[in-house]
Structure 1
Amino acid sequence: MKSFVHSVTAFVFLLGIVLAFDSSAQTVATRVSGGWIRGIEEGPTLVFKGIPYAKPPVGALRFMPPQPMTSWKDTLSCEKFGSPASQGGGQGGLKGSEDCLSLNVYTPTTSKEAKLPVLVWVHGGSLTGGSGMGMNGHAFADDDSVVTVTINYRLGVFGFMYLGDVNKAYQSSGNNGLLDLIMALKWIKQNIAALGGDAAKVTVMGESAGAKLTSALLATPQAKGYFNQQILESGAVQCIRDSVTAKGIRQRLMTQLGVTKPADLLKISAEKLIAAQAEISNGAQGTNYFGPVIDGSVISEDPYQYIRKNKNDKVRFLIGTNKFESKMFMGFDKRLNHPDSTVLYGWFGDNYRYVLSNFETEAKKQGVDSAAIKVLTQYMYQMHSYRLANALSRAGNHTWMFRFDYKRDGTGATHADELGYVWFLPGKNNFNPAELKLAQQIHQNWVNFIKGKAPGDVNGAPWPHFVAGENNIMVFDSASGPAQLSNVYNDKTSPSSCFVLK
C-alpha cells in the first residue's frame, strides 16, 4: 500500500521551490558554539545547511532525549542539507536516517549587530514524514530581512514511541520529537546572533503536524523562554496523547513485528520499525497515531489545564484553518466520503462515536457528501484550533485567527492549500494575477506578525483581534476581509486529543 505520508511529503516538497544557483557561488563562514561553519551565498541570502544542533541519536542515544552537540575542530561544511529523519520511502522502503538532528539557516547577514527577527519552521507530514528542506527559506530571507531556520526532528517510532514503562531512562521517549524541537530552539537562542538574528524575537511556525508539534511547546515548562510568537496553520494540541493511547499504538506495532515485550523494540532495525509503522498506519488514517505523550515528565497534564495554570501573556499567536480541511484526506481514503463506525474508528479511535453521531445528524440536514466534508473538517482540525485560540485569548494572549478559503476552481481550500501563499517567492509559482495579489497580501501579513506587529490591514480593513467567544477572524478568498462567525462548532464531550484508545 502506498504510504499516505509519502504522498503528503511529496506534496509538501513540491511546494518547497528548489532554486538553482551557480555552483561557483561564494562561501561564507561564521562561528557558532560548536566551532566554525561554512555556508554558501545563494542570491542575496547566506545559507547554512545541515548544521548539527544535537548529537546523533544513535547507539546508546537511540530512543533517548537529544544531547547537546559536541565541538568540532575544523570548519564544518554546511553547504548541503542533512539527512531527513527515518521515514517511509514509498513501496515499503526506508528513507532518511536516524542521524537526522540538523537545521538549516537562511540569513541576509552574519552581523551580530543586525538583530533580525527569526522564523523557525516546523514541517508537517503526520509526525511520520517530511523534513526541514521541504520549505524554501529564501521566501522570507531574500526580501523580508527575516532569518529563517528550518529543522529536522525525529519522527514516528523514533520521535514519539512511549517506552517509559521499559526503563526510567526512556521516560521521555514518547516526546523525543518535541524535545528535539526544544533542543533546536536552545541552539537558536545560543547561536542565532552569529547568524544575524535576535534570540528575543523568535517565531515558531508550523503547518499540520508541524503546527501540532509547535503547539505542544505550550504544554511543557521545558520550552518556556525560547520563543515569543507562534504561527499555527491547521493544527493545535490535538496530537498530544495519553499514555494508554500511546501504549495501544505501540502494541499494534509489536503485534505487526511479532514481539511480545516493549523492550524488544529497542534493538530492531530502522527498516523493520518503519515498515511496521507504515502497516499499522494503514495509509492516511494513521495521521494521528503518533505525537507527544502525557508522560508525567515532559508533559504532565492535559494541555488546556496546563495553559490555564501557566498563563504566559507575553507570547503572541496567529492561528488558522482552511475551509474544507478534510477534502485532501477524503481523496486519500475514499471510505471517508461515506463514513461508518469502522472507518471512523480507524481515524479517531474511541472518539469515533462523537464524529459518527454528528455526521448522522448533519447528513439528514444537508446530505451525506456535504456532511462528511463539514464534520470531518470540524473534528480533524477546525474545532481544535478554535479551542486553543479561545483558551489563549482567555489567558490574555494577543491572538489573531484566519481561515483560508481560496481555491482556483471555487470549491474551497483543502488542507495545506495556503502554503504556497504564505511561502510566496516572486517568480517561482504559476499564480494568475488574482492569486499573485492574494499571495502578496498573505505573505506580507505573516511578515508583519513575524516582525512583532499586528498582521495589518487586508483590502483596507484591519485584521481584528480574536476575542474568546466573539469569533472575529480574517477570511482569505478571491475577496478577502474580516468576518465574525456566528458559530464555531465545539463538541464539548469530545476530548482534547483527536485520537484516543481506551
Structure 2
Amino acid sequence: MKNIIRRIPVCTFLLGIVLSSNSSAQTVVTKVSGGWIKGIEEGPTLVFKGVPYAKPPVGPLRFMPPQPAASWKDTLSCEKFGSPASQADSQGGLKGSEDCLTLNVYTPTTARDAKLPVLVWVHGGALTGGSGMGMNGHAFADDDSVVTVTINYRLGVFGFMYLGDAGKAYQSSGNNGLLDLIMALKWIRQNIAAFGGDASKVTVMGESAGAKLTSALLAAPQAKGYFNQQILESGAVQCIRDTVTAKGIRQRLMTELGVSKPADLLKISAEKLIAAQAEISNGAQGTNYFGPVIDGAVILQDSYQYILKNRNDKVRFLIGTNKFESKMFMGFDKRLNHPDSTVLYGWFGDNYRYVLSNFEAEAKKGNADSAAIKVLNQYMYQMHSYRLANTLAQAGSHVWMYRFDYKRDGTGATHADELGYVWFLPKQNNLNQTELQLAGQIHQTWVNFIKGKAPGEVRGLQWPHFVAGENNIMVFDTVSGPVQLGSVYNDKASPSSCFMLK
C-alpha cells in the first residue's frame, strides 16, 4: 500500500539546475520513527536533507556513543543539508558543528511497497574532513531506481580520539565515528521503507577514508546484519589502530594544547581541539592519524583474524584501487618525491622502515621517481585492498576487484579520479566521448552490483570473480577489460595498520 503523500508548491531551485521565474517545485512529506518530515522534489527525485538519525552529540553526550534521535511533534523541515561535522577549514580554523548527525535521502518514491535497493554513501576526507553533501545522490536515484542515502559522521578528535583511560563511559570514544555509521544503518533499517527502500538490500559504499570506515564494519560485531554489500574504493581496514597508536596521536594533541591528562580534553572547545588537530596532522601527512581503534568494546581484535573467524558468505564486495593513488599525495607533500626516513615516519609512523627499505630496493633498479610512485602506491592503498579481498575470498565471500587507470592526459589515474565516473550525471559533465563511454561502463556495473547482480560485462567481456591468489580483476581505461595480474605486492612483515606508533 502506497504512502499518502501531501505536496505543497513552493518556489525553489533544483539541485544544479536554475529554474525560470515561473517554475515551481513541490514539497513532499513522509513519516519516519521520529515523526513527519518534509522534503522537496528535485526533478524526478524526492530529496530529504538533514534528517536527524541520532541525538546531537553535545553536552553530556559529547565524546559518547550516539543515542537514538528524539521524536518531534510538528512536521520537521528537511529541505536543507545539516551542518558538516566539526573540522578544520583551509586555515586550520573551525568549520561545521558538533551537532552533525544527520543524513540525506534521495528517492524516486515514498511508496512503501516499492522495495528499491538502497545505497549508503560514506564520504572520504582522511576521517577529519568532508560531509555527506559532497556527493550528489541524483546520480543513482534519478535514472537507476536506487534509494541513495548520504551521511555525516563525527570526524577527527570527536569521532576517533581514544579516551577509554579517562573513564569507563568513554571506553568506545575511539570508535564514535564508526558507531555513528552503525547508528545510521540502524535508522535506515527502521525507516527506509518510508522512502521506498528495501532494508534487506543495503549496499554501503565509501571512497578513501569512507572506504576505510566502511570496511571497519567488518570488524565490529554490532554492525552485523545491517548491510549485505560493500563497495570499497581506494581503502580497506588499514585505518584501524591499536590503543598504543591512538594514545600516541592523542599525546601529540595534548602536547599541542598544553594539557597533561586525557580527561583535560573533555571540556576543551571545538575551536581549540580542531586547531590543534590541524597542527599535528600537518596537512595531508595526517591522512592515517585518526581512525577506528581496537578498544575491546567495539572492535575486539585484528580485522583479518575476525573476518576469518566469523565467516559471512552472505555479504558481497566490490573493491578496487586506482593506478597511481600516491601521485595526489605526492603533489600535496613534495618531500614524498624523494622519500627519506623523516618524511616516511611522518606518513607511516614506525612502519616507515618497511616503506623505506622497499623504496631503496626499487630505486636501485632504475628511476627513483617512478620507484617512489610505485612503492607509496603499494603501502598507501594497493597492498591493503588486496589483502582484504584475499581474506574475504578465503572466508567464502563473493568478491569482484577493479583497477581504475584512466587519466585524460595519459599519466594514469590518481586518488579519487574514479568518483566522477561512479557518480555520473548525464546532464552535468564535461566528458569527451572516450570518457562518456567509460562513465557508462563504470556506473552501470556499479548499479548492477547495487541491485544484487554480478557487475556484468564490459565491452562484452565478463567481469570475473576475484579468487584468492589468482588476481582476476577488471581494468577501466581507454579500452577496458578483464586482466589477470601476474602478482600483487604484499610485504608480509608490514602490519595491517598503515600508520603505527610503538
**When the two structures are superposed, what TM-score results if normalisation uses the length of structure 2?**
0.96
Q: Which residue of 1 aligns with 2:314?
A: 314
CA shift at 1:418, angstroms? 0.1
Equivalent in the alignment of 2:269: 269
Retained in 1: the 8 A contact 2:36–2:74?
yes
**CA distance in structure 1 between the partners assigned to 2:147 and 2:130 by the alignment:** 21
Mapped to 1, the partners of 2:427 and 2:481 lie a distance apart of 26
State the Cα distance separating 1:21 from its structure 2 match.
5.3
Q: Deviations over 1:95-122 (max 9, x none)?
A: 1000000000000000000000000000
Q: Check the 8 A contact 1:318/1:400 in 2, yes or no.
A: yes
CA distance in 2, matches of 1:500, 1:435: 39
Deviation, structure 1 residue 20: 3.1
Cα pair 2:359 2:372 within 8 Å, conserved: yes
| Partner SS state of residue 474, structure 1 | strand
Q: Secondary structure at the match of 2:119?
A: strand
CA distance in 2, matches of 1:201, 1:499: 34
Deviations 1:202-260 (A, max 9, x none): 00000000000000000011000000000000000000000000000000000000001
Task: Name the amino acid aligned to 1:373.
Answer: I
Cα displacement (A) at 1:363? 0.4
CA distance in 2, matches of 1:152, 1:412: 31
d(CA) in 2 for partners of 1:25 and 1:241?
47
Partner of 1:326: 326
Q: Deviations over 1:278-325 (max 9, x none)?
A: 000001100000000000000010000100111100000000000000
Secondary structure at the residue paired with 1:129? Answer: coil
What residue in structure 1 maps to residue 149 of structure 2?
149
Question: Matched residues in 1 for 2:15 and 2:169: separation?
Answer: 41
SS at match of 1:430: coil
In the TM superposition, what is the alpha-carbon distance from 1:366 to its structure 2 partner? 2.6
Question: Aligned partners of 2:18, 2:354: CA distance in 1, in Å?
Answer: 52
User: Is the 8 Å Cα contact of residues 403 and 474 (structure 2) preserved in structure 1?
Assistant: yes
* Distance in 1 of aligned mates of 2:225 and 2:284: 35
Q: Are 1:20 and 2:17 counterparts?
A: yes
Q: Tell me what 2:400 maps to.
A: 400
- The equivalent of 2:279 in structure 1 is 279
Structure 2 unaligned segments of length 5 or more: list them.
1-13
1:402 is displaced (CA, Å) by: 0.0
Distance 1:19 1:226 in 2: 32
CA distance in 2, matches of 1:166, 1:269: 17
Distance in 2 between residues matched to 1:399 and 1:273, nearest whole Å:
40
Structure 1 residue 92: Cα displacement: 2.0
Within a 5 Å distance, the mapping from 1:294-313 to structure 2 comes to 294-313=294-313
1:285-434 alignment to 2 at 5 Å? 285-434=285-434
Contact persistence 2:121–2:150 (CA under 8 A): yes
Runs of 4+ in 1 over 6 A off after TM superposition: none
Q: What is the identity percentage for the equivalent residue pairs of Structure 1 and Structure 2?
A: 86
Contact 1:162 1:250 in 2 (8 A): yes
1:367 positional shift: 1.5
Kept after mapping to 2: 8 A contact 1:163/1:173: yes
Once residues 223 and 21 of structure 1 are traced to their aligned partners in structure 2, the CA distance between those partners, rounded to angstroms, is 41
Corresponding residue SS for 1:381: helix
Deviations 1:400-451 (A, max 9, x none): 0000000001000000000000000002111001100100110000000000
Flag the 1:191–1:332 CA change in 2: closer, same or farther, 3 A: same
CA distance in 2, matches of 1:303, 1:70: 33
RMSD (Å), alpha carbons: 0.9
CA drift of 1:399 comes to 0.2
Q: For residues 292 and 20 of structure 1, what CA distance do their matches in structure 2 show?
A: 39
1:235 paired with 2:235, answer yes
Once the two structures are superposed, residues 358-394 of structure 1 have per-residue CA deviations (whole angstroms, 9 ceiling, x without a partner) of 0000001132100000000000000000000000000
Aligned partner of 1:40 in structure 2 is: 40
| Equivalent position of 1:5 in the other structure | none
Q: Secondary structure at the match of 2:190?
A: helix
Match of 2:319, SS state, is strand
In the aligned structure 1, how far is the partner of 2:427 from the partner of 2:116?
25
Q: Give the equivalent residue in structure 1 for 2:209.
A: 209
Contact 2:15/2:42 (<8 A) preserved? no
One-letter amino acid of the counterpart of residue 189, structure 1: R
Aligned to 1:28, the other structure's residue is in SS state strand
Matched position secondary structure for 2:218: helix
SS of 1:26 mapped into structure 2: strand
Secondary structure of the corresponding residue to residue 241 of structure 1: coil
- Counterpart residue identity of residue 300, structure 2: S
* Alignment check: 8 A CA contact 1:21 1:42 kept: no
**Post-superposition shift, 1:93?**
1.4
Write the distance in 2 (CA, Å) between the matches of 1:397 and 1:312: 7
**Equivalence for 1:219:** 219
SS at match of 1:294: coil
Distance, in Å, in 2 between the alignment partners of 1:412 and 1:303 is 31
Aligned AA (2:278): A
* Equivalent position amino acid for 2:375 in 1: V
- The alpha-carbon deviation at position 19 of structure 1 amounts to 1.4
Count of residues in correspondence between the two structures: 486
Paired AA for residue 352 in structure 2? Y
Q: How does 1:463-478 map to 2 (within 5 A)?
A: 463-478=463-478
Whether the aligned pair in 2 keeps the contact of 1:21 and 1:43 (CA below 8 Å) is no
Distance 1:346 1:18 in 2: 41
The farther-off stretch of 87-96 and 334-343 is 87-96
Segments of 5+ residues of structure 1 without an aligned counterpart are: 1-16
Tell me the secondary structure at the aligned position of residue 321 of structure 1: strand
What is the DSSP-based 3-state SS (H/G/I as helix, E as strand, rest coil) of the residue aligned with 1:284? helix
Q: Which amino acid is 2:395 matched to?
A: A
- Per-residue deviation, residues 76-135 of structure 1 (Å, max 9, x unmatched): 000000000000011121110000000000000000000000000000000000000000
Supply the distance in 2 between the matched residues of 1:215 and 1:429 (Cα, whole angstroms): 30
Read off the aligned partner of 1:309 and give its amino acid letter: K
Q: Offset at 1:24?
A: 3.3
Distance in 1, matches of 2:366 and 2:247, equals: 39
Q: Distance in 1 between matches of 2:337 and 2:404?
A: 22
CA contact (8 A) 1:118 1:199 kept: yes
Equivalent position of 1:245 in the other structure: 245
